[in-house]
A and B are shown apart, each in its own frame.
Chain A
Amino acid sequence: MSPILLAEQVLNGLQSGVMLFLMAAGLTLIFGVMGLINLAHGSLYMIGAFAAAAVAGATGSFALALVAALAAAAAAGALIELLVIRRLYARDHLDQVLATFALILILSEGTRWLFGSFPLYLNMPAGLSGTVTLPGGIVYPVYRLALIAVGIAVALGLWWLNARTRLGIRIRAGENDREMIAALGVDISKLYTLVFAIGAALAGLAGALVGAIQSVQVGMGEPVLILAFVVIVIGGIGSIKGALIGALLVGLTDTLGGVLLPELFKLFTDPASAAATGSAFASMAIYVLMAGVLIWRPTGLFGART
């Protein structure tokens, strides 16, 4: 295997890692502040992608599509928070799982009803559709580099929000002691709706950005949701830093495993069965990683020790 191919795969891994981070950051923020496990986070990802595809189809503008994705996902998030989610904060995890599973059914079938079962396509912006030659002779799509840049920018933005703004102080205070911050005059239910909407907007953004390299279809959110869960388990629930490290680990393991394991099996068996066996085991690589982290640290790399 040539170093150039390997470098490309590392970039691919980073790209899928930062997109996973957008999902995982929202999930972990919502869990950290409200103590809620939200299975419907994948539906918000899907809503973002569909809103972007619809607006891009109508106006032809990718920038407007991104704005629409953010707005639609944030609005949908705020709406379901007001209608359903806020009744679940005091409930146990089982009720949260079931109610958000019900939301998946409603949102997925509702989207199918509105847009049909056929996948939609979202074209990436013309300015970013080419490739660029990186130092070392690596030819790489500009759009994927842009995704990595967006992911890093969001990570920095979230850090700034959390560490340097009044809202961040309130979020951190809400994580630590919700009674106390409510007693200090912060409208806790408004804060919860806002946090949920921010998480939803991040998921919608990820959906729209990834929608331009994959097809936009019903059910696209759940595989990503489960990967984001793996990320959170690895990184530790409630930790945004953990979500970032976990997402990059999962993205790199998944991408590199898919390339390296078939190569590894070629050392033992004939190429055809090596490719099949290798890719079958590569699909398990991130879960093996998760199991390893669990044995080493049951609460994740950056999780609170219980």
Chain B
Amino acid sequence: MSRERLLNGALLLALIVIPGWALYADEPFTITLATRAVIFALAAVGLNIALGLGGLVSLGHAVFFGIGGYAMGILASHAQSYTPLIEWPFVIEGTKSMPVIWLVAIVASSAAALLIGLLSLRTSGVYFIMITLAFGQMMYFFAISWPAYGGEDGLSIYVRNGFPGLNTLVPIQFYGLCLALLCLVLAFNARLMRSPFGLALDAARQVPERVRAVGLDPRRLQLVALVISGAITGLAGALFADLNRFVSPTMLSWQMSGEIMVFVIIGGVARLFGPVAGAGIYVLLEHLLGGVSEYWQIFLGLVLLMVVLFGKGGVVGMIAGRRRDG
């Protein structure tokens, strides 16, 4: 356990030192890359709650990521054009305020998670994988064919949304904001893993019969886990859209779902800092290999294949050893 703690500390330190160095050396692009990694990590922390703790192999987490993104895009585009979102039965205006956008993103994505969960948790195993993938594709095609918010072209925002007391247009300030959210969510995740709910969920993944025998409903535990998971990934989606000042159906695509899962797997399933390590490695590979070859995803595929076939437990697992409860 102590090796894992050391590794977690090192990762946290890297998240502070690397952008700090980039600020000192005046390399804003590195800060943007680090922001990307932190946001991906946040999305993957969300998935890790469903996948690692709950054992739910969701191949549709791009739905929540994309809903978060569109929450930002829709609210900000209405604020930008000074048109109300709806006028009846009461007027709702758009907004450029991040906390409001985050709240909307969280509420919308957890509502979607509840709905998808109610339907897909009627099944399990391979059906669950296919169904989450299918619902993801449904949202993707809906976003493409719904013309009001850009359709296939997506939606651009001229100015990044604001946060009280900060200038979010300065890369390091936006980075700090994202990092603070990641740390908050990681702290929440650590508490969740040790809470009665987290323990029951862990048990429901391993031996659902026993959980049922003590009077708990595994389905219900998994549904709550999926909602929490969707909410966190949705929050990450809102940040990602704000980072790019752009949201498009690509955020809802099945490739996005696959990538979020890759972050978790490369890092280490069910490990607190697994998603952080995975997202960091992914962004690093994307940057380094993307410069070498246009076809860098071949190498990503090979790395992923090796991790799955030979390296159980991802990077955190390889460095820190197996989880005690296995």
Contacts and interface: CB of A to CB of B under 8 A. Distances in A.
Interface of A: 31, 37, 84, 87, 93-95, 97-99, 101-106, 108-110, 112-113, 222-223, 226, 229-230, 232-233, 237, 276, 279-280, 282-284, 287, 290-291, 294-295, 298-300
A109 B299 CA distance: 10
B305 A84 contact: yes
B106 to A, nearest CB: 24
B138 A108 contact: no
Interface of B: 51, 57, 59, 119-120, 122-123, 125-127, 129-131, 133-135, 137-138, 141-142, 144-147, 254, 258, 261-262, 265, 269, 295-298, 300-302, 304-305, 308-309
Prevailing SS type, chain B contact patch: helix
A94 B304 contact: no
Contact of B138 (A84, A95, A110, A284): A284
Contacts of A37: 126, 129-130
A290 B131 contact: yes
Q: Which of B122, B265, B308 has the most CB of A within 10 A?
A: B308
A31 B126 CA distance: 9
B171 to A, nearest CB: 30
A113 B298 contact: yes
Contacts of A102: 300-302, 304-305, 308
Contacts of A232: 130
Q: Which 9 A-B pairs have the closest CB atoms?
A: A105-B301, A106-B301, A287-B138, A283-B141, A102-B304, A229-B130, A102-B305, A102-B301, A280-B145
A36 B88 CA distance: 51
A177 to B, nearest CB: 20
B298 A109 contact: yes
A87 B309 CA distance: 8
Nearest to A229: B130
A175 B92 CA distance: 57
Contacts of B144: 283
B261 to A, nearest CB: 7
B305 A106 contact: yes
Contacts, number: 118
Contacts of A99: 304-305, 308-309
A31 B125 CA distance: 12
Contacts of A279: 145
Contacts of B135: 287
A226 B122 CA distance: 20
A283 B75 CA distance: 24
Contacts of B301: 102-106, 109
Contact of B134 (A109, A230, A237, A298): A230
Nearest to A290: B134
A237 B122 contact: no
B129 A93 contact: yes
A283 B142 contact: yes
A103 B305 contact: yes
A294 B119 contact: yes
Contacts of A291: 119
6 contacts: A93-B125, A93-B129, A94-B51, A95-B308, A99-B305, A105-B297
Contacts of B297: 105-106, 108-109
A53 B201 CA distance: 51
Given A295-B122, A299-B123, A112 B308 contact: no
Contacts of B122: 294-295, 298
Nearest to B138: A287
Contacts of A87: 309
Nearest to A113: B295
A105 B298 CA distance: 6
Contacts of B261: 97-98, 101
Contacts of A110: 295, 298
Nearest to B130: A229
A105 B300 contact: yes
A94 B131 contact: no
B27 to A, nearest CB: 29
Q: Which of B127, B297, B300 has the most CB of A within 10 A?
A: B127
A294 B126 contact: no
Contacts of A229: 130, 133-134
Nearest to B301: A105
Nearest to A112: B295
Given A97-B57, A98-B265, A102-B300, 11 more contacts: A87-B309, A97-B261, A109-B301, A110-B298, A223-B137, A232-B130, A276-B146, A283-B142, A283-B145, A284-B141, A294-B122
B265 to A, nearest CB: 5
A87 to B, nearest CB: 6
Nearest to A291: B119
Contacts of B137: 223, 226, 287
A116 B37 CA distance: 30
A31 B141 CA distance: 27
B312 to A, nearest CB: 9
Contacts of B133: 226, 229
Contacts of B129: 37, 93, 97
B298 A226 contact: no
Contacts of A287: 134-135, 137-138
Contact of A237 (B127, B138, B308): B127
